[in-house]
Structure 1
Amino acid sequence: MSNVQKKTDVILIGAGVMSATLGSLLKELAPEWDIKVFEKLADAGEESSNEWNNAGTGHSALCELNYTSEKADGSIDITKAIRINEQFQLSRQFWSYLVSSKLIRNPQDFIMPIPHMSLVQGEKNVSFLKKRFEALSNNPLFQGMEYSDSPDKLKEWIPLIMKGRTSNEPIAATKIDSGTDVNFGALTRMLFDHLKNKGVQVHYKRSVKDIKRKSDGMWEVKVADVDSGKVEYHTAKFIFIGGGGGSLPLLQKTGIPESKHIGGFPVSGLFMVCNNPEVIAQHHGKVYGKAKVGAPPMSVPHLDTRYIDNKKTLLFGPFAGFSPKFLKTGSNLDLISSVKPNNILTMLAAGVKEMALTKYLIQQVLLSNEKRVEELREFIPNAKSEDWDIVVAGQRVQVIKDTEAGGKGTLQFGTEVVSAADGSVAALLGASPGASTAVHVMLEVLEKCFPENMNKWEPKIKEMIPSYGMSLVDHPDFFNEIHASTSQTLGLIKKESVYS
């Protein structure tokens, strides 16, 4: 690597879906810019973006009950559901642009049509689901959604879940056929292949050790070869830190004021994966339930048909756990070393506030395999433990910060960008909905960090993402047109006749 040019325009840290998305956008908007990527693992998409480390759901609020809340008057607030859905439409549009421009190929290798369903039990939950359905089904973004509390209809939709069910509790579900299963690992690898074809230098097995501001305003990144230990220094005008759970420690190293008073709380996860082809064949859909009291939003139980390595499989989970590591491949010292003088009070305040979450995580860590199978049987009454194996999913670092609404030490469950005032550095923190909204989040990075370029870039952005800058919910005809065309390009149309 001694002959590698050390000075560049853009450095992307972490070869996950966020860096892949930002790099792909920049290569279309500013093809002359030099971009380097540093990833400490041996390949792209091996941590949070990997297909075994996330739910693989195209999060568009079609089935995720935590994106709709019941207000004090009993009405349903669908504001967040609309926002998440519109953000996912941006991703669909950009992926469609890449496919139609032949920059990436074979969309079926990363996205498949799959019904999205919500399933609840108990009178109160059934009432909530019906009100949610009524609020969403009148909205153009959720057209085609069906509701049923008829056991016969549910046997058609979810035969595996209904078989052997003896409870007399009311049960209900919603179903919408326009959902997707997204293999974010495969998508990430495709995007990095595309970036390499465009001249982006992608360096694997390179660990970023430090980030410092030089006197000329450039950022200097200290990079170590994982195998040899050899250290190099690279400088860039702009740095994006997209290292999943590893982003917070690197953001802290920049020393920017915006990195102060922010902490991180790691939550790990497990999934049960079915090893019996006969069971897998009996289920087709992503079925989301309600989170248990005290459980974090990303722990909503779901039974998912997934397509991994072009093979249909079935996963149930996630089960939350605790590890002090910020990455699966991280260190047990990650959590303690992230506590700094400027964020210790924020972290302590969060510890006091989140006793229910702490209790929940302890209970989850102590779960035996038999207890996990019992939880699985709430979805599949006839589940046999020998048909299911355990897969350790990715680490998610939840952001802790001081907010006006929540006060000191508020635990955030979303995805957020932290950027320097001058736009020279940005970091992505947080978890769900994460990868599904990568395009929206990276457009936010562009707006925050390159405001002087946005007027010039806007025509190209709208060519790639036609609904950029507008609300699709206010333009239902345009939404139908966009949704139909992206469905066609991405090979989803056969399951989405409602839009054709």
Structure 2
Amino acid sequence: MSNEQTRADVILIGAGIMSATLGSLLKQLAPDWKITVFEKLASAGEESSNEWNNAGTGHSALCELNYTVEKPDGSIDISKAIKINEEYQVSKQFWSYLVDSNLIRNPRDFIRPLPHLSIVQGEKNVAFLKKRFETLSNNPLFHGMEFSDDPETLTEWIPLMMKGRTLNEPIAATRIESGTDVNFGALTRMLFDHLKNNNVDIKFKHNVDDIKRTSDGLWELKVRNVDSGAVERHTAKFVFIGGGGGSLPLLQKSGIPEGKHIGGFPVSGLFMVCNNPEVVAQHHAKVYGKAKVGAPPMSVPHLDTRFIDNKKTLLFGPFAGFSPKFLKNGSMFDLLGSVKPNNVLTMLAAGAKNVPLTKYLIQQVLLSKEQRMEELREFIPNAKSEDWDTVVAGQRVQVIKDTAAGKGTLQFGTEVISAADGSIAALLGASPGASTAVSVMLEVIKKCFPQHIKAWEPQIKEMIPSYGVSLLKNPELIHEIHASTARTLGLSESLPLQMAHQTVS
């Protein structure tokens, strides 16, 4: 065992989009702080942030039907959609700042304009989509959204999906041009290159085995070199656990009270990827459908144009699967090891409550390729099996906790757990995660560094002009941000039409 012990101001665990974002923010706000990053894999962005392990959607609630819920009185609750949209605008502002400041280059390598569509079939679903459209299109955050139930118009929007379709029930879609495709793997690698160039110590192939509080209030990490087996001790005033599915076990090892009574349920994903360039060329959009009755929110089917390594491709999914691993490169004992005396009742309650989810996952795991093709044919009627291959996507760990809704409630979303004194924070959960990374990490900074916020505020506002302001209450600011981020990130063609006209005039 090595006696080496080093001290940092900040330690980031995991080299994914969350650590990359927090590190980049802190480097702008406190450039003299010593930051160290530990990642057990050989490079950055190889787990959930990797481009093949997520859908690459710039989540802004333009097409995701699970962010807009129909209330008992028939009205549509868009509060979650507004929140996610505003948070994505914050991410785009920060990325624009980094590009304008020449801290990262070539935004086209990680973000591209791409229409976002929602599509439904059946009279009841069409009525829901129309109400959703009417509610959202009156909101300045969603200007430019179009609705159509005309098959000819839909054929113009999504020709591949309409070819060979039997129209024996109503069909409708909404479209908005200001959507994006985001390569979070490429963005993560860019951000870590920037951090490395600014004296951040990034240690790949280093696994954090343990974490504990020292008598002087620091956090001590036991870190193992994956290749040599050598163990080092590292201490820091502040630790961020951003290890994707691996965050929960480390949070538990920290022993903070806030980490108790929390469990995790792993869900794996599969996508179908098209290997026929002629088919890929016929589709240019992200098209989200509606989750089937009884299916969890993360199972919403979608057909996505993707740009990976600057090459256009086409993915359909996700198909849920189950593995007890918390990470794609994790252990088969991850789930079992996460069950502790303080969360066993929470976990058991979740199991009892989620029998339909368990049944759904078992059914998904047992699907044959042809059965998956049948689901794909609901989107592309003429899809041929030989044109599609299966890829295994990333592992997600859904948070289980005791809430006002009851014991052992399964949470869908992204959640930050932090110590009362702000000395340690962990990110848990899944989508919309990466898209809202900047907002989530600003929240971490606000919670964990309250003593610095007043001094940092001018710099934060320089990086994110809308910081501290409700975009919803400032339509003019929405227009300015849409125009400026579109210009900097090369998304001009994705501006809503009326905004584009205003900008030109």
**Smaller-chain TM-score range?**
over 0.9
Q: Which moved more, 1:163-172 or 1:127-136?
A: 163-172
- What is the match of residue 199 of structure 1? 199
Alignment of 1:259-298 (within 5 A): 259-298=259-298
- What is the match of residue 503 of structure 2? none
Deviations 1:84-136 (A, max 9, x none): 00000000000000000000000000000000000000000000000000000
C-alpha distance in 2 between matches for 1:467 and 1:356: 42
Question: Which AA in structure 2 matches 1:373?
Answer: M
Give the superposition deviation at 1:167.
Answer: 3.4
C-alpha distance in 1 between matches for 2:442 and 2:166: 49
C-alpha distance in 1 between matches for 2:3 and 2:186: 31
C-alpha distance in 1 between matches for 2:493 and 2:258: 47
C-alpha distance in 2 between matches for 1:494 and 1:383: 30
Give the superposition deviation at 1:497.
Answer: 5.5
SS in structure 2 of the partner of residue 303 of structure 1:
strand
- What is the match of residue 190 of structure 2? 190
Change in CA separation of 1:4 and 1:306 when aligned onto 2, cut-off 3 Å: farther
Q: Contact 2:3/2:233 (CA < 8 Å) preserved in 1?
A: no
Question: Which AA in structure 2 matches 1:456?
Answer: A
Deviations 1:263-307 (A, max 9, x none): 000000000000000000000000000011222211100000000
- What is the match of residue 11 of structure 2? 11
Q: Contact 2:15/2:44 (CA < 8 Å) preserved in 1?
A: yes
Alignment of 1:98-177 (within 5 A): 98-177=98-177
- What is the match of residue 23 of structure 2? 23
Give the superposition deviation at 1:494.
Answer: 2.3
Alignment of 1:299-338 (within 5 A): 299-338=299-338
C-alpha distance in 1 between matches for 2:471 and 2:494: 22
SS in structure 1 of the partner of residue 452 of structure 2:
helix
Question: Which AA in structure 2 matches 1:164?
Answer: G
SS in structure 2 of the partner of residue 97 of structure 1:
helix
Deviations 1:37-75 (A, max 9, x none): 000000000000000000000000000000000001100
C-alpha distance in 2 between matches for 1:171 and 1:90: 34
C-alpha distance in 2 between matches for 1:120 and 1:189: 37
- What is the match of residue 493 of structure 2? 494
C-alpha distance in 2 between matches for 1:45 and 1:205: 13
Tell me the TM-score normalised to structure 1 length. 0.99
SS in structure 2 of the partner of residue 305 of structure 1:
strand
Question: Which AA in structure 1 matches 2:40?
Answer: K
Q: Which moved more, 1:54-63 or 1:164-173?
A: 164-173
- What is the match of residue 421 of structure 1? 420
- What is the match of residue 346 of structure 2? 346
- What is the match of residue 457 of structure 2? 458
SS in structure 1 of the partner of residue 169 of structure 2:
coil
Question: Which AA in structure 2 matches 1:213?
Answer: R
Tell me the TM-score normalised to structure 2 length. 0.98
SS in structure 2 of the partner of residue 60 of structure 1:
coil
C-alpha distance in 2 between matches for 1:89 and 1:3: 46
- What is the match of residue 211 of structure 1? 211
Q: Contact 2:146/2:174 (CA < 8 Å) preserved in 1?
A: yes
Whether 1:38 and 2:27 are equivalent positions in the alignment is no
- What is the match of residue 444 of structure 2? 445
Give the superposition deviation at 1:3.
Answer: 11
C-alpha distance in 2 between matches for 1:177 and 1:100: 24
- What is the match of residue 392 of structure 1? 392
- What is the match of residue 67 of structure 1? 67
Give the superposition deviation at 1:496.
Answer: 1.8
- What count of residue pairs does the alignment treat as equivalent? 499
Change in CA separation of 1:215 and 1:357 when aligned onto 2, cut-off 3 Å: same
SS in structure 2 of the partner of residue 217 of structure 1:
coil
Whether 1:254 and 2:272 are equivalent positions in the alignment is no
Question: Which AA in structure 2 matches 1:83?
Answer: K
- What is the match of residue 226 of structure 1? 226
- What is the match of residue 362 of structure 1? 362
Question: Which AA in structure 2 matches 1:50?
Answer: N
How high is the sequence identity, in percent, across the aligned residues? 79
Question: Which AA in structure 2 matches 1:496?
Answer: L
Question: Which AA in structure 1 matches 2:479?
Answer: N
C-alpha distance in 1 between matches for 2:18 and 2:479: 27
Whether 1:477 and 2:443 are equivalent positions in the alignment is no
Deviations 1:422-477 (A, max 9, x none): 00000000001010000000001001100111111111000000101111011001
Question: Which AA in structure 2 matches 1:133?
Answer: F
- What is the match of residue 403 of structure 2? 403
Question: Which AA in structure 1 matches 2:316?
Answer: F
Deviations 1:197-237 (A, max 9, x none): 01000000000000000000000000001111100000000
Give the superposition deviation at 1:495.
Answer: 2.9
SS in structure 2 of the partner of residue 63 of structure 1:
coil
Unpaired segments ≥5 residues, structure 2: 501-505
- What is the match of residue 53 of structure 2? 53
Change in CA separation of 1:3 and 1:276 when aligned onto 2, cut-off 3 Å: farther
Runs (4+) of structure 1 exceeding 3 A deviation are: 1-5
Deviations 1:9-29 (A, max 9, x none): 000000000000000000000
C-alpha distance in 1 between matches for 2:2 and 2:266: 37
C-alpha distance in 1 between matches for 2:41 and 2:293: 37
